[in-house]
Amino acid sequence: MDFSDPRQRAAFFAIHSDLPREGPGNGASTLRALAIAQPLPARPRVLDIACGPGAQTLDLAAALPDASIVAVDFHAPYLEQLRRRAEEAGCADRIETVRGDMSALDFEPGAFDLIWCEGAAYIMGVPAALLAWRPLLRDEGRIALTEAVWLRDDPPEEVRANWAEYPVMTDVPSVRARFEAAGYGLLGDFVLPPEAWWEYYRPIEARLATLASRYNDDPVAAGVIAEGHAEVECYRKYPDYFGYAFFIACP
Ligand SMILES: C[S@@+](CC[C@H](N)C(=O)[O-])C[C@H]1O[C@@H](n2cnc3c(N)ncnc32)[C@H](O)[C@@H]1O
């Protein structure tokens, strides 16, 4: 997928708009990671980086009723979607949405008790993200992020090809080592369950089915849709070879 091509980009956002979430994850996993991150102060300040449409933002807001959350994303329509959802959930007064770049976040040092990032640290790379975000955390703060990992070291060629755009992907022990090298102490980690993938992929499959007929005569869009199908099929066929894992740590 070439984001610099406007037709591919348009097809990508025809798929990736108004979905409940934009990466593998589910409420149970968010809450499990949050439990590992405890204790937090009574009124924690939370930074949700690359919040997307905000599924995890809303789960955090519900689980931390006295928290205030700053949710950052690059893509303004996701922030609008999150604002709508927060209004519906009655927590809009505790969620501030900020359009921004995760690699140039403009907040006071030590401004946050908890930094959260589901499915997006790969954009900077985990080591760079851990270093860049550390100053935003207070000393007793916590960070929780998910990262794609190899679960086996013998993936079939089809699986390798599916992940070819992320060559620095590694396994759980090596991600732990990246946290340690960046000066963090790991509090826990776990691999996301298959349900977390299907919470992401089920709505995508439904969207791909809807779009297939609309883009019949557009080979560029049809190619993007085919890539979407291939990604879902790769997980359906090979769930034991790769996954996403949550890592929870303190500075
Ligand atoms: C895989 S999605 C994950 C979204 C959300 N956390 C979720 O799990 O539903 C990655 C998100 O990163 C955002 N993004 C991409 N580059 C970014 C950047 N440089 N700064 C901030 N957000 C970015 C995208 O707009 C998208 O919402």
**For 92-143, what is each residue's pLDDT tens digit?**
999 999 999 999 999 999 999 999 999 999 999 999 999 999 999 999 999 9
Ligand 1 centroid – CA 65 distance (Å) = 24
3-class secondary structure, 103: coil
Domains, the chain, with CATH or none: 22-193+241-250 (3.40.50.150)
Cα–Cα distance list, 210 to 65, 163, 232 (Å): 38, 26, 16
Residue 3 — very low, low, confident or very high, per pLDDT cuts 50/70/90? confident
Question: CB of 23 closer than 6 A to ligand 1?
Answer: yes
User: Residue 101 Cα, ligand 1 centroid: separation in angstroms?
Assistant: 9
Which amino acid residue places its CA nearest to atom 11 of ligand 1? 50
Hey, which of 75, 103, 106, 231 would you mutate to test ligand 1's pocket, going by the most ligand atoms within 8 Å of its Cβ? 75
Is there an atom of ligand 1 within 6 Å of 189 CB? no
For the segment 217-230, what is each residue's pLDDT rounded down to a tens digit? 889 999 999 999 99
| pLDDT higher than 80, residue 34 | yes
Distance 217 CA to ligand 1 centre (A): 30
Ligand 1 probe mutation, 60, 123, 244, 246, most atoms within 8 A of CB = 123
Q: pTM here?
A: 0.97
Ligand 1 in reach of 73 Cβ (< 6 A): yes
Q: Is the CB of 25 under 6 A from ligand 1?
A: yes
Question: How far apart are alpha carbons 15 and 187 in whole angstroms?
Answer: 36
132 lines ligand 1 (CB under 6 A): no
Residue 209 has pLDDT above 80, yes or no: yes
Pick from 16-20, 22-26, 43-47, 222-226: least confident: 222-226
Please, what is the Cα angle at 242 between 54 and 9, to 5 degrees? 50
Polymer length of the chain:
251
Distance of CA 235 to the CA centre of its chain: 17
The verdict on the CB of residue 47 being under 6 Å from ligand 1 is: no
Task: Calculate mean pLDDT across residues 174-187.
Answer: 98
Q: Is the CB of 121 under 6 A from ligand 1?
A: no
Report which of 60, 182, 45 is spatially closest to residue 118, judged by C-alpha positions: 60
Give residue 123's identity as a one-letter amino acid code. Answer: I
Confidence band for 78, pLDDT divided at 50, 70 and 90:
very high
CA of 250 to the centre of ligand 1 (A): 23
